[in-house]
Amino acid sequence: MGIDKKKVENIKGIKIIKGDFLDKSVKEEAIKYFGSKIDVILSDMASNTSGNKSLDSLRTNQLCLNILEFAKEVLNKNGVVIAKIFMGEDFNEIKINARKNFKKMDFFKPKSSRQESREIYIHCQGLST
């Protein structure tokens, strides 16, 4: 999973953390910045594509599972997670994980997403633990 090396302009009032989300230090930086529970986690992350749709789906969906695990640590009790996933063989694993850890869970496909694309988004709200 590569990191986009493009320069990101600073935006007043916005904290941009560049790095690999699977790297523990990136998660720690986010936790340190917020210093308390988070209301919303919005993830549009996807792994670099390899051309193998099954592999690409597995990699991107693993990022989604990591976001859901991270959310259990940092999200407010009634917080929201929205994350990109790809329809694939591990879709049910994501659904099971979300249902176990959140009070509400559903999926949506934004109008901006190409119809033939396998991408959809999961919306979870309210930690169940």
Residues forming the active site = 84
Per DSSP bridges, beta strands 38-43 and 75-86 are parallel
One-character DSSP codes across the chain: -----SPPPP-TT-----S-TTSHHHHHHHHHHH-S-EEEEEE---PPP-S-HHHHHHHHHHHHHHHHHHHHHHEEEEEEEEEEEE-STTHHHHHHHHHHHEEEEEEE--TTS-TT--EEEEEEEEE--
| Rounded alpha-carbon distances, angstroms, from residue 93 to 29, 50, 96, 100 | 28, 22, 5, 11
